[in-house]
């Protein structure tokens, strides 16, 4: 889905409250931009840049569009045939390859066939070629030539990259002192400072979608991204309840005992990668892995309990548990 431009929901005089808010949709998710301390002209230019970037990512990286670059190369997966692709898709494929290696296979974009098997359908791929067991991703950087061994789903990391690129373009359109918050489907990038506050306050949503936030954290830059089963759960054939966070080691939904994982970091694409990789560790292993990696991570278990790493605790300014009466 391309980004839809919607008029700013708030247009206040600059000398009263210089905050501009924009809302739209992109990549099948709500898209929001909040700009502090900019002229109306500069804020409008930043929003246009954000919408343009998300539209370009949709055209290159969407598995739901029949005409996207990703769909074209997925249809050739396993055949050995290569295509020259655009900068965005090439970067995304390279990022997924690196993420798979860095996370020891916990994150792997090559789960599209499993999603399709479970009923989460995108654009038709036709008959994907049988793939040799020894075939791997092939890339030629000088020509942006790519051949895939298996079809890729770039949903999460694609949104993270879209946030990275769109935030960069928004910052270019604004003066250096201007602060802004960019959100896509609950994932957030912040730049600079909000008006009259030392840092941005970011809420961690209750994955049951039925109550106040689980926690509020302070962010003075970087990204906060969440992998959750709150919205994308459905009934597969046979009546089994499944979700979209596929464990590449089993081909089935993973994250036993968890409902949501949030990671804060410098870059939204890598925050996306680690939120999913940690989710797939499940309740028993997530704490050890997150702490060993030094990640700022929060997770909500199946019983609703919130836990976090030491790196996350120093960023946390409020939790619902601490606010509950004894």
Structural domain spans, the chain: 1-62+155-194, 64-153, 198-326
The superfamily in CATH containing domain 64-153 is: ApbE-like superfamily (1.10.3980.10)
**pTM for this predicted structure:** 0.91
Q: What is the C-alpha end-to-end distance of the chain, expressed in Å?
A: 46
> Phi and psi for 165 in degrees, rounded to 5?
-70, -40
The superfamily in CATH containing domain 1-62+155-194 is: ApbE-like domains (3.10.520.10)
- Tell me the average pLDDT across 59-63: 97
pLDDT score of 293 more than 50: yes
- Tell me the average pLDDT across 42-61: 97
Whole-number mean pLDDT of the chain?
A: 90
The superfamily in CATH containing domain 198-326 is: ApbE-like domains (3.10.520.10)
Residue 172 makes CB contacts below 8 A (sequence gap 6+) with 49
Q: pLDDT digit string (tens) for 180-226? A: 999 999 999 999 999 888 999 999 999 987 788 999 999 999 999 99
**Calpha distance 173→188 (Å, rounded):** 19
């Amino acid at each position: 889905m391309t980004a839809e431009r919607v008029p700013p929901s708030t247009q206040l005089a600059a000398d009263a409250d210089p905050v501009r808010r924009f809302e739209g949709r992109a990549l099948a998710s709500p898209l929001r931009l909040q700009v502090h301390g900019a002229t109306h002209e500069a804020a409008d230019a930043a929003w246009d840049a954000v919408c343009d970037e998300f539209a370009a990512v949709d055209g290159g990286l969407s598995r739901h569009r029949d005409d996207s670059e990703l769909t074209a190369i997925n249809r050739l997966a396993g055949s050995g045939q290569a295509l020259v692709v655009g900068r965005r898709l090439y970067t995304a494929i390279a990022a997924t390859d690196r993420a798979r290696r860095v996370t020891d296979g916990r994150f792997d974009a090559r789960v599209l066939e499993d999603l399709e098997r479970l009923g989460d359908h995108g654009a038709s791929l036709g008959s994907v070629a049988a793939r040799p067991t020894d075939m791997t991703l092939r890339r030629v950087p000088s020509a942006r030539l790519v051949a895939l061994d298996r079809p890729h789903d770039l949903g999460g990391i694609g949104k993270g990259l879209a946030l990275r690129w769109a935030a960069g373009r928004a910052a270019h359109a604004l003066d250096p002192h201007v602060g802004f918050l960019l959100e896509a489907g609950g994932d957030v990038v912040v730049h600079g400072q909000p008006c009259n506050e030392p840092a941005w306050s970011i809420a961690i949503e209750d994955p049951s979608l039925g109550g106040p936030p689980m926690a509020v954290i302070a962010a003075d830059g970087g990204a906060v991204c969440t992998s959750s089963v709150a919205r994308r759960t459905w009934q597969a054939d046979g009546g089994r309840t499944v979700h979209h966070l596929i464990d590449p080691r089993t081909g089935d939904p993973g994250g036993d005992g968890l409902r949501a994982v949030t990671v804060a970091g410098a870059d939204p694409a890598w925050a996306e990668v680690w939120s999913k990789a940690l989710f797939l560790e499940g309740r028993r292993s997530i704490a050890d892995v997150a702490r060993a990696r030094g990640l700022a991570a929060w997770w909500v278990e199946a019983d609703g309990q919130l836990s976090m790493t030491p790196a996350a605790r120093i960023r946390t300014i409020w939790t619902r548990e601490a606010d509950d009466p004894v």
